[in-house]
Structure 1
Amino acid sequence: MSGAVSDRSPERVPTARKAGVVLVIVVAALTAVGCTLAPKEARLVAQDLAAGPASTEFKEITATPSRRTVTFSGEKQSYRADLYAPGPVPEAGILLMPGAAEQGKDDPRLVNTAKTLARARFLVLVPDIPGLRRLQVTPANIQHVMDAISYLASGRDFPSPPRIGAGAFSYAVGPVLLAARRPDLAGQVDFVVGVGGYYDLEEVLTFATTGYYRQQDEWQYRRPNEYGKWVFVLSNLSRLADSDDRRTLRRLANWHLAGRPGPQPEVGLSGEALDVYRFVTNDDPDRVPALIGKLPLAIREAIRELDLANRDLSSLKADLILVHGRRDDIIPFTQSVRLAEALPKGQTELFILEGLLHVNVSALSIFDQNRMAHAVDSLLRQRVTAP
């Protein structure tokens, strides 16, 4: 700070007054609709999450977290992971599961999120899951979550955090919740944060392939992102018996995911691969159940294993914080609504944002910013006071 002279300069006085007027307007608007401003720390953390690597007040007032590589062994495999540690003693630990993204744990969005949470005094573990880098979401991800949480709770390479949670994006929300409900983890997972997650996989696949989803038992339509259905194809290639069909479908899926212009690659499919292709290219929601019924048995079993709608979630004891974008074009927001409704009252907090596009923040309104800050406040309240 340069002192009183700078603060009282003619250029700054009107700016300060304008900022005060804006704040009064914001508070008045929020009060009018029954909302309250989130606590200051939550607002600073939410601002930092939205800003990514850009400078923010939160970055200025907190220590830069450390980032190092750790290795650990699970039930069936070994893992490499990034561990983000705050300057002060961590007040909670959180596993961040990557979604289906080619950059995996090194995705800039995930890295920025981990750094922000570490600045907020969380010990953050981000494992490298090669299958997710290949855009493969499989039931094996449930075991990956269990292994990572067990390691985070073990205190092997660092003091065990007093409270432990997990955060997941998109399709990774399902495996995290399915792991957290397991008896051997049910007492270790205190909270779960899910962004853009799902509940009923048949409904999600209906939306991904046709654009239709149900809201209050009525069909609604939103043009879906092609990403969802072709990730489904890539996730299930290993479940097809014929190697030629696997290669053809992989080429087709990669062509679509790359957004290449011109005609699609020649399709010469038969048997199981043809059933998969007919399913993902169907645009009639009423045909989806029958087309799913024709998918190879291994694919149908994988859908069943990752589905939440057919599970008893009563063994899930963790507090849930769910965030979803109303205009999500990969997983409709109604999935988080249904998930919240499936759990006991008071166990879940749900925040619907207009300016959140799946897991990417676009322009957030004043009300969105406040909702986001309240969601962050719910997460911050999962910490304990550091000794």
Structure 2
Amino acid sequence: MAMTLATRVVAFLLVTGLIATLLVGHGSVSRGYEALLALGDIAAGSEESRLKQRTPDPSRESLTYAIDEHEYQADLYRPEEPRRGSLILVHGFTEAGRRDPRLMEFAITLSRLGFTVMVPDLEGLKDFSISTREADAIADAIRYATDELSAGESGTAVAAISLAVGPALIAAKQKDTKDRVRFLIALGGYYDLTDMLRYVTTGEDRGGAGQEAPPPLREGRWAVLLSQLHWLDDESDRAVLASIARNKLDDPHAAVQAEVDRLGPQGRAAYDLATNEDPQRVEALIRELPPPMVEEFEALDLSAQDLGKLEARLVLIHGPEDRVIPVSHSRRLQDALPQGQARLFEAGGLNHVEVSPGWRDGWGLWRATTHLLALGERE
């Protein structure tokens, strides 16, 4: 019989209780024990946890801010005891944006740990139309947070999820933002977009250095397709491809050939890339896409970026069995930075961005959480 979520949390805490006991001393709770409580809280979701019992609920307020005539909406989570500075939490693909229930629970957990958490709404990540405008929006959030929330401190932290990792890294290395970011947490992010597309559509992980990756989630190809429809000129192509993608997400066996036959040249090029299963054809199919789509694709590709401009410490957290973006991407991202600037935690308790710690796989997540708590402490 499968364990309930609450049972898994209790089992995780009991098995690691010896570690926690060794980390507690003389009435003060160490970072290690705090990390343990944080993981238990994340796994518990809205249910009770020891962290909830120990800490008061953070307050949440909505805010509107403007940078260079661009107006943004965000939620701000304030802890009763702000002891770890500010942190910008960047959501991944979710139509609910900053109000995604899982994201809100994660923000509350981070705030209980002493972070003042800012969660901006990013329109491109809400409607699956990711582009460089998300990098600009994250850069503006960094400017706002460091001016309004982190006055007198050495900057803010940034945490980004999945495909938002690329725009967050690009935002954090700009001329007027690179000295404002203390550290950046990249959860299940990408490095090379061409190789990511190759994996999602064909299953080949060209950056895996000979290590076989798990088979990709088949629905990943349709999510990628939805993320680029806004670059198509033909409104009819956009509507037809959106219908195809959503039908396939609902039912992988859905018949869509009649809709495919209605596509124009641009729409057919996007569909051919999404449905291709030949690893050798990926580059050629990308070149057939509309020029604006290719330009944005290249602009968001971290493997083509000058990452030497990034000054922040980078905390990479990636599940070794990730079936959306292989762990090889975080390994290559770590290798692309100067030695010691990035630290990678391969966490078996992480299924892309879903946390499910158990006694075998909670160790990596615990180490990663302990590390980021140490980075977050005020100097």
Give yes or no for TM over 0.5: yes
Change (3 A) 1:385 1:129: closer
User: Could you say which residue in structure 2 is the equivalent of 1:114?
Assistant: 107
Query: CA shift at 1:165, angstroms?
Result: 0.8
Aligned: 1:191 with 2:183:
yes
SS of the aligned residue for 1:224 comes to: coil
For 2:256, the equivalent position in structure 1 comes to: 264
Listed one character per residue, the Cα deviations across residues 147-191 of structure 1 (whole Å, up to 9, x for unaligned) are 1111111127x8665541100100000000011111100100010
Q: Distance in 2 between matches of 1:24 and 1:107?
A: 32
Q: Give the alignment's Cα RMSD to 1 decimal.
A: 2.5
Q: Would you say how many aligned residue pairs link Structure 1 and Structure 2?
A: 358
Cα offsets for 1:325-357 (capped at 9, x unmatched): 111111111111110111111111111122311
Structure 1 residue 331 corresponds to structure 2 residue 343: no
Q: Distance in 2 between matches of 1:197 and 1:76?
A: 30
C-alpha distance in 1, partners of 2:155/2:113? 14
Note closer, same or farther for the CA distance 1:191–1:366 as it changes in structure 2 (3 Å cut).
same
Partner of 1:144: 137
Return 166-175 or 57-66, whichever deviates more.
57-66
Please give the alpha-carbon distance, in whole angstroms, between the structure 1 residues aligned to 2:58 and 2:295: 42
Residue identity matched to 1:174: G
Offset, 1:102: 1.4
Partner residue in 1 for 2:227: 235
Q: Note the 1:63-82 alignment, pairs <5 A.
A: 63-82=56-75
In structure 2, distance between residues paired with 1:265 and 1:129: 33
Answer yes or no: is the 8 Å Cα contact 2:13–2:40 preserved in 1: no
Deviation, 1:244, is: 1.6
d(CA) in 2 for partners of 1:52 and 1:21?
18
Is 1:322 the counterpart of 2:301 in the alignment? no
Cα distance in 2, alignment partners of residues 53 and 100 from structure 1: 21
Rounded to whole Å, the distance in 2 between the matches of 1:128 and 1:296 is: 28
Change (3 A) 1:160 1:70: farther
Greater Cα offset, 219-228 or 113-122 = 219-228
Match of 2:119 in 1: 126
In the alignment, is residue 357 of structure 1 matched against residue 357 of structure 2? no
Change (3 A) 1:226 1:144: farther
Structure 2 unaligned blocks of 5 or more = 1-10, 21-29
Q: Counterpart of 2:202?
A: 210
Secondary structure at the counterpart of residue 208 of structure 1: helix
Bigger radius of gyration among the two: 1
5+ residue gaps, structure 1: 1-17, 28-36
- Quote how far apart the aligned CAs of 1:135 are: 1.6
Match of 1:33 in 2: none
Partner of 1:309: 303
Matching residue within 267, 275, 279 for 1:273: 267
Q: Residue type of the partner of 2:91?
A: P
3-state SS of 2:307 partner: coil
Whole-angstrom distance in 2 between the partners of 1:226 and 1:95: 31
Partner Cα separation in structure 2 for residue 314 and residue 64 of structure 1: 39
Q: Which residue of 2 aligns with 1:85?
A: 78
Which residue number corresponds to residue 247 of structure 1? 239
1:377 aligns with 2:370: yes
Cα pair 1:162 1:384 within 8 Å, conserved = no
Is the 8 Å Cα contact of residues 240 and 273 (structure 1) preserved in structure 2? yes
Deviation of 1:26 after TM superposition, in Å, equals: 7.4
Instruction: Classify 1:69/1:217 alpha carbon distance in 2 versus 1 (closer, same or farther; 3 Å).
Output: same
1:58 aligns with 2:58: no
* Structure 2 CA distance for aligned equivalents of residues 79 and 344 of structure 1: 34
2:340 pairs with 1:346: yes
Partners of 1:57 and 1:146 in 2: CA distance: 35
Residue 287 of structure 2: which of 256, 280, 293 is its match?
A: 293
1:263-317 CA-partner distances (Å, limit 9, x unpaired): 2362421311111111111001111111112111111111101010011111101
SS of match in other structure, 1:382: helix
CA apart distance, 1:88: 1.2
- Please state how far the C-alpha of 1:55 moved relative to its aligned partner: 1.2
Alignment of 1:156-195 (within 5 A): 162-195=154-187
Residue 154 and residue 103 in structure 1: after superposition, are their counterparts in 2 closer, same or farther (change >3 A)?
same
More displaced 10-residue stretch of structure 1: 170-179 or 96-105: 96-105
Q: Secondary structure at the match of 1:81?
A: strand
- Name the residue aligned to 1:10: none
Question: In 1, Cα distance between the equivalents of 2:14 and 2:57?
Answer: 33
Q: Give the Å deviation of 1:131.
A: 2.3
| Percent identity over paired residues | 35
Give the AA of the match of 2:319: G
Q: Partners of 1:202 and 1:75 in 2: how far apart?
A: 33
